Structure 1
Amino acid sequence: MYKLKTTKSVSKRFKVSSNGKFLKHYSCKSHLLQKKSSKRKRKLCRTTGISYSDKYSLNYTLPYT
């Protein structure tokens, strides 16, 4: 069987934790920061897990993780 290629844009946006879960960064942290509170900007720096329904599409785009 042929090898599956990793989608490079997805590999830069997501990472896999030691338990096998996919992690992503929050969005909305790149511009229009004046109107956002400091607390909100602090919380946007964190990482979060992805939803269960997105896991199957990420398994296809990141095959060897």
Structure 2
Amino acid sequence: MPKLKTHRAAAKRYKVTASGKIMKRQAGIGHLLQHKSASRKRRIFKMVGVSESHVALVSKELPYKKYSR
């Protein structure tokens, strides 16, 4: 079997924690921040876990990252 290639865009967007969860940044923090409340901005600046329905898709793009299902 040949080596699998890591999808480089996915490697930059997703991080795997020590416990094996796949984390991503939330959408909506790129621009137009002046009308959003401070509490909303604090909430969306944090990393969140990838939904269960997307874990299999993301894990195929990151073949050498250790993750738990």
Same fold (TM over 0.5): yes
- Structure 2 residue runs without a partner (length 5+): none
Corresponding letter in the other structure for 1:56: A
Counterpart of 1:32 in structure 2 is 32
- Quick one: percent identity of the two aligned structures? 42
Question: Could you tell me which residue of structure 1 aligns to residue 15 of structure 2?
Answer: 15
Quote how far apart the aligned CAs of 1:2 are. Answer: 0.8
Q: C-alpha offsets along residues 9-61 of structure 1, whole Å, 9 cap, x if unaligned?
A: 10011000111110011110011111101111111111110111111111110
Structure-2 separation of matches of 1:64 and 1:18: 14
> After the TM superposition, which parts of structure 1 deviate over 2 Å for at least 4 consecutive aligned residues?
none
TM-score of the superposed pair, with normalisation by structure 2:
0.89
Aligned to 1:63: 63
Q: TM-score, normalised by structure 1?
A: 0.94
- Structure 1 vs Structure 2 CA RMSD: 0.7
Instruction: Give the secondary-structure state (helix, strand or coil) at the position aligned to 1:19.
Output: coil
